[in-house]
Amino acid sequence: MPPRIKTVASITVETFFEAHATSLGLTLLGEKVGFDRLISEPAMNRPGLALAGFFSYFAKKRVQVLGNSELSYLKKLPEPMRIDRFRRMCDREIPCLVVARGSTLDKNLAQVANDHGIPVFGTSHVTMNFLNTATIRLEHQFAPSVTMHGCMVDMRGVGVLIIGKSGSGKSETAIGLLERGASLVADDMVRIKYVGGDLVATSPDLSRGYMEIRGIGIINVANLYGLASIRPDKRLDLVVTLKPQADLNEVDRVGLQQKTYEILGQQVVHVEIPVGPGRDTARMVTIAALDQQLRRLGYNMADEFNQKLLHHMSSGHGTHGV
């Protein structure tokens, strides 16, 4: 059964504020109203055109950000027009307002927002910095995600997800990789999000930095191998499936045609490695990770050998001496 994909259609203003108040420097400027309003798009909007009276294509589902440009424009308007333009924007059921650069709304505009039940926040951040940071954080919150059973490690810059049947040795393989300098991202439950064109893996907060080793129990990876042996997240570059020794004939023996594994609609390079008594699985995964790193740099070892073989055969030697 394929893992269930989790999607987020909207979040409340309260969720947004509680999750990002510290990182975005947000403070509540007015009364605590409208915290149940929904943010339905993972982006910010500067309502300059709306305040000028143009509401076609107005992004009303986004957080509205007022910077120096918007505030300066409002101040130059006659007071009745200023209040009317601001009220017309609030009539669109916007989720909330953020006033940047440590500025505030004048009391009349603040009252309009309060009458509409729209929360107003302030931040000392420069407008563009706030827009960029807030958009990235919202994209993470809205990103589709899936939880998979396996181990995720960072092996020399290559994000490797190790999967396989229960008891195939995923955690033991991850321990072997840690002893070779890898960093643990997640063990057992791996959360994967599609953010900004990349698949990014992380761990549930409760289990971050811990592993379960059969016969030993729960271990704290940072305490055993040092703080550098864990990391909060990593881009997924390679999926490794550990297969029983009995399925050895099904495993690719040349590597010319790379297999892929689909996660959240994205194709990830996939390698199948047979496991059995006496096989150093961690070493095999290390080689697979290094091979993937070389392929990303444009060097393909299997293709190089194939080209040498074809050249040898075309020179009249056939397969003799190969």
Kindly list the catalytic residues: 149, 170, 188, 253
Could you write out the DSSP letters of every residue in 172-206?
A: HHHHHHHTTT-EEEEEEEEEEEEETTEEEEE--GG
Burial of 173 per CB tally in 10 Å (0-12, 13-18, 19+): buried
3-state SS string for 22-49? HHHCCEECCCCCCCCCEECCCCEECCHH
Query: Which pairs count as long-range contacts for 277-280, CB under 8 Å and 24+ apart, including other chains?
Result: 277/245, 279/245, 280/176
Q: What are phi and psi of 249, to 5 degrees?
A: -65, -20
Residue 272 pairs in a beta bridge with: 241
Count of Cβ atoms closer than 10 Å to residue 17 Cβ: 18
In 3D, which of 125, 123, 48 has the Cα closest to residue 89?
48
AA letter at 64: Q
> CB-hemisphere CA count at 13 Å for 37?
24
Q: For residue 155, what is the enclosing H or E element?
A: strand 145-155
Residue for token pair 């927002």 = 113
Distance separating alpha carbons of residues 165 and 149, to the nearest angstrom: 9
Tokens for 54, please give them: 């143009």
